[in-house]
Amino acid sequence: MRNHPGNRPYREQTVAPPGDLEWREEGGSWIFRGTCPVCAHETEKELFDLVPGTVTKGLPWGRKQPEVRRERTIDCECAITHRGAEERNGCGAGWKVRLPDEALS
């Protein structure tokens, strides 16, 4: 098991998103789930700031509504503490995701 990717030490890096990345709406927030492409552990991230009504809508006399960022960074948050991670979970990998249109409506 020495060469299993899960044995990798913690290292911050940007990688391509997992091939099995999926997302779902649950209770007003969005859950992103997949297998980390670096350590091969399952990881899940909940984005709370997409809950409808949490973005300031502005005043009726012309203040613009702030634009919601379509691209976000999801970090590996697997339940494993990798070597060198101190007390953090995850291997340090992160990847960019583009929010589904449904998340912005």
Written as tens digits, the pLDDT of the chain (105 aa) is: 444 566 789 999 999 999 999 998 888 788 999 999 999 999 999 887 654 454 455 555 555 555 667 788 999 999 887 888 887 788 999 999 888 777 666
- Please tell me the predicted confidence (pLDDT) of residue 49: 62
| Full-model pTM | 0.71
What is the rounded CA–CA span in Å between residue 23 and residue 62? Answer: 34
User: Which residues, 6 or more positions from 91, have their beta carbon under 8 angstroms from its beta carbon?
Assistant: 8, 10, 11, 36, 38, 39, 41, 76, 78, 80, 82, 85
Contacts for 1 with CB less than 8 Å, ≥ 6 apart = 7
Token reading at 90 = 């995850």
pLDDT of residue 30: 85
What local confidence, expressed as pLDDT, does residue 64 receive? 59
